[in-house]
Structure 1
Amino acid sequence: MSFFGNKRLIIVLVGLVFLISVVGFTSRERANLTWPEMFFKDAFSVVQGIFYRPAQAFSHFLQEIGDAYNVYQENRALKASLDQYAQVTAELYSVKAQNQRLREMLHAQTNLHDYQFRFAEVVARSSDNWNNTITIDKGLKNGIKKDMAVMTAKGLIGRVQSVANFSATVELLTNYNRSNHISAYILAEQTVNGVKTYPTISGVIEEYDPRERLLIMRKIPWGQKIEAKQLVITSGLGGVIPRNLPIGYVVRVAPDDYGLTQTAYIQPSADFSQLSEVMVVERAFSISPSGELIPNQQFSQPAASIPPVSGPAGTAPAANGGGH
């Protein structure tokens, strides 16, 4: 036993000596490697190449999957931001448009200070009767009455046709089948002895031409000089529609079928395709069945003249006459 134990010890010592010798021999600087070093180095290179290339390809594949997922997440975030931006932009334009309309309505209310205004929103408009009626969100409980004039900041659009407690139906000027005509004035411009005057030319708006989108004003006295771009306003002679409300501008004039009167074609001031907020106008006085003027309680004094109304042909003062 001692021999074999000593033999193993001797073998271990010889192996250590050999290993130390090999380490010492290989650690010094040499020009060439030994054949065992070259053998083991080449063998390890081959084995390393076999496993390195698939591992590197798999690593690149995993990295590409990660990059694609990151791009997908960024794309989702960008799309969400773009959708939110589009929504915010639409809301901004809507608020700007509403602000502009409210400013125009406030300006119109300031100019027409002799009337009582009740602001309302359009809540319904039938596609079958698009040019005939609209429904607003104010009614009897808000002081709305039948035949009150309804306008936007740009001009008259119609009258209240029927009223419920919390809503009302408005008959538009574009309803060419309606029976209630509107008495109106054309504000002409003349120069007499170097002084500009603005005589009023009376007529009646009777219908609407849907093809040309123009109001038709008839019963204009023959011989009156009428030009394009002259302002048309309500006269108030009918006792229902207040006076001096803008209606539109003259586009052209033609004689009637019998050559006794003239017919004017009027471009409405209001945009009937965009009706969102409207104003219901109450005149300063009412007409009793006996024909007497009864001041409304909301006004402390009778209606006075309205400040000048600007038209495309120039600035013309409102006429002393009134509406329906």
Structure 2
Amino acid sequence: MSLTSEPLLDDAVPPRPGRADTSTRLRALGSRWGLPLLSVVVFLIVYQLVAVSGIWSETFVPTIGTIWDAFVNLSTTHDGVRGYADYYWWEHLYMTLRRVLAGVLVGVVAGVLLGLAMGSVSWLRRLLEPWLTFLRALPPLAYFFLLVIWLGIDEAPKITLLALAALPPAAVATTAAVSAAPVALIEAARALGASRAEVIRDVVVPAALPETFTGIRLAVGMAYSSVVAAELFNGIPGIGGVVKDASNYNNTPVVLVGIVLIGLSGLIIDGVLRAIEHRAVPWRGKA
């Protein structure tokens, strides 16, 4: 038997990252960013083909060039007019985001606290759940005019509407998450002498966080989908107000610009919420 044999595993040279690792990373990047970008490009091509086909009038289906011109007009001073209704698009978007932020903060905080209470106290859940379901089933326009009668046409009815839109998803998700907290962990904490407040703080709340964050994201989405309704009256400056005002004059390009701005800002906000959730609940999907 020869003394010179195959090298031991300890002496083996560790493999260097090669083309396989690079191709894997490229495929991952392509799957994450390439497919969404491809879908956008395909949508724009199909939309442009439909717009130039003449099936519908350009008043209803404007070309991408016309929509771009509307965006440029919203971004500049033209013919003595500053943007749209004397505000640039980012000023409209800022006012809308400020209203959404105020409404979401009120609605989410109230919804999470209400969900914690309803999930922890069974009789309170039975008492309030029908009212919560009733509010969740109502479309925003159903009670916005009542809010205008009560609160006027300034900021109060808008923020109240957005808060009422955000409250039910946050409350329902938190209630379900608290009710589904692991009974074994709760009983173990009580056996070790933890008080009710300590059980809620150290066991129930961490267990409910993943579903609560899902409810918060849904709450933000519901509030954002109510922006146009919230800005029906005295909504300028505001993207929803721009969409509503432009629709009165069949100004479809401006309406589409407003819709795109609302959608893109909503995607960014949801991405921020996802990042916060990833930091706050790193164990989600792992345990």
Task: Report the structure, 1 or 2, having the larger helix content.
Answer: 2
TM value normalised by structure 1: 0.27
Task: Report the structure, 1 or 2, having the larger strand content.
Answer: 1
TM value normalised by structure 2: 0.29
